[in-house]
A and B are shown apart, each in its own frame.
Chain A
Amino acid sequence: MPKPILTIKNLTKKYGENVIFQHLDLDVNEGDTIVIIGPSGTGKSTLLRCVNLLTRPNEGQIWLDDEEITAKGADEDQVRQHVGMVFQNFLLFNHLTALGNVKLGLTKVKHMSDAQATEKAMHELTRVGLADRANHYPGQLSGGQQQRVGIARALAMDPRVMLFDEPTSALDPELIGEVLEVMRQLALDGMTMLVVTHEMGFAREVADRIIFMEKGYIVEEGSPDEMFNHPKFPRTREFLWKITELYGKKEKDAE
């Protein structure tokens, strides 16, 4: 029985009267890739933002390893070092080179020496295939390259969990592949990942578990095979059919 690295219990988030999600439970085991799908406005992104405390849940608890990160007095900055976040619109630091982006957390949060930080940052840039772009500024990089720098920046902190909030939604179609490839490799390397995406090809191939969320609830969850081939709820089938149609990824059938 593998031990969960991330445990979410009875999580509720609302803005005023507006309930984003309610009584949400989720366990994530070490090395798992969980893909969260569902229509927009169902709280997928908010859920991710709760996990790295960019947003505070109203109720419920989140444990990272054995530490309750939602506890009063938990050190947010400490927690965020262990939870990497990749944003839909990259959010690179525009005044820094690719290398500078990856190094900033290493020197200013982890207090590494400049040489150590450079070595570590170059290692991560190499991992996402951008060692040769280290001295380029975000404005000089393509969207796909920027997002890979974003991934390297998060990875450099050696996080326990990586969160991806629609990492390819802002990309031109021909640039999506390079980002998904990096994520696929990460999953193979055993990184624990929570991915919100509409890329069904990625979900089928890489996910250990797919979670279908709608209107603030987890409607259904299961392996890619269960979800794509034998969904229990008609709503799941309908959504998957629509999104697969929309993104034109019918060629790869899960076994």
Chain B
Amino acid sequence: MLTWLSYFERFGKNFLRGTAVTLELTAVGLAIGFVLGLLLALARCYGPKWLRNLAGAYIAIFRGTPLLVQLFIIYYGLPEIGITFTQTTSAYLALGLNSAAYQAEYLRGSINAIGEAQMQAGRAVGLSKWKTIGYVILPQALRLALPSWSNEPVSLLKTTAIVFLIAVQDLMAEGKRAATATFDFVGTYLAIAVVYLVMVFVLDALLKFLERKTRIPGMDIETRR
């Protein structure tokens, strides 16, 4: 059995590289998911009927099927109809498109909670519908969504581990390689688990910080209308 030190010497760099890839996947997936999720939420709340239905169908499909199936369709399936993505791009897409469906639901909930009343207040001042959404509804809805939305980055970070199945060299893939090379499955996967855990702790702290930073003075965000 390798001592911890020599083990670290041998695989430390790989783990570090894998960790960077995992963080990248999380960040890109979250960003794609946020932009698309916001558009979906707005489409569902304020779009014409056909667009509302379209957004609803998108959410139903991407929440209703396993992410792994989506990933395989993008990576293995699409080339059959002539659309080929690299492993990394496929991973970004699958994570982003899937996360968008969940983020859309978080945002839709809080947009509805801010409600029609704030819309009327904005319109009464002379703001157009979209200006009211931009300057009045969203600044409040995003804050309101934050505590429950915070699940998404944490969940996504761990979900990225499935991309090793299409040979993206993330932390999970590096761990698997180290485990196979050393036959130390317990030790290696425990080490990987600890790295994930530390990342989640840091992410959680960041999200809590963001929540504190954006809190509206004098407002108890949970009971706000």
Q: Chain A: residues with CB nearer than 8 A to chain B?
A: 52, 54, 76-78, 80-81, 84-85, 87, 89, 91-95, 104-105, 108-109, 136-141, 153-154, 157
Contacts and interface: CB of A to CB of B under 8 A. Distances in A.
A28 B123 CA distance: 23
Contacts of A108: 127, 131, 135
Contacts of B123: 54, 76-77, 80
Question: What is the interface of chain B mostly: helix, strand, loop, or mixed?
Answer: helix
12 contacts: A80-B124, A80-B126, A89-B117, A93-B136, A93-B140, A94-B118, A94-B216, A108-B127, A136-B217, A140-B218, A141-B218, A154-B125
A91 B117 contact: yes
Interface in B63-119: 117-118
A125 to B, nearest CB: 15
Contacts of A81: 125-126
Contacts of B219: 94, 137-139
A139 B220 CA distance: 8
A104 B127 contact: yes
Interface in B118-142: 118, 120-128, 131, 135-136, 139-140
A92 B122 CA distance: 9
Interface of B: 117-118, 120-128, 131, 135-136, 139-140, 143, 216-220, 224
A110 to B, nearest CB: 8
Contacts of A109: 125-127, 131
Nearest first, the 4 closest Cβ-Cβ pairs linking A and B are A139-B218, A140-B218, A91-B121, A81-B126
A137 B221 CA distance: 13
Nearest to A52: B124
Given A54-B123, A93-B121, A108-B135, A137 B128 contact: no
Given A54-B123, A80-B123, A154-B125, 18 more contacts: A77-B123, A77-B126, A91-B118, A91-B120, A91-B121, A94-B140, A95-B139, A95-B143, A105-B125, A105-B126, A109-B125, A136-B217, A136-B218, A137-B216, A137-B219, A138-B218, A139-B216, A157-B125
B144 to A, nearest CB: 10
Nearest to B142: A95
A39 B131 CA distance: 36
Contacts of B136: 93, 104
A8 to B, nearest CB: 18
A105 B122 CA distance: 8
Contacts of A140: 217-218
B127 A77 contact: yes
A153 B125 contact: yes
B140 to A, nearest CB: 5
Given A136-B218, A140-B217, A140-B218, A92 B127 contact: no
Nearest to B120: A54
Contacts of B143: 95
A76 B122 CA distance: 13
A95 B127 contact: no
A94 B131 contact: no
A100 to B, nearest CB: 10
Nearest to B136: A93
A154 B125 CA distance: 7
Contacts of B125: 80-81, 104-105, 109, 153-154, 157
B124 A95 contact: no
A87 to B, nearest CB: 7
A94 B224 contact: yes
A93 B119 CA distance: 10
Contacts of B120: 54, 87, 91
In the complex, which of the residues A78, A91, A141 has the most CB atoms of chain B within 10 Å of its own CB atom? A91
A109 B134 CA distance: 13
A78 B126 CA distance: 7
A92 B121 contact: yes
A95 B121 CA distance: 13
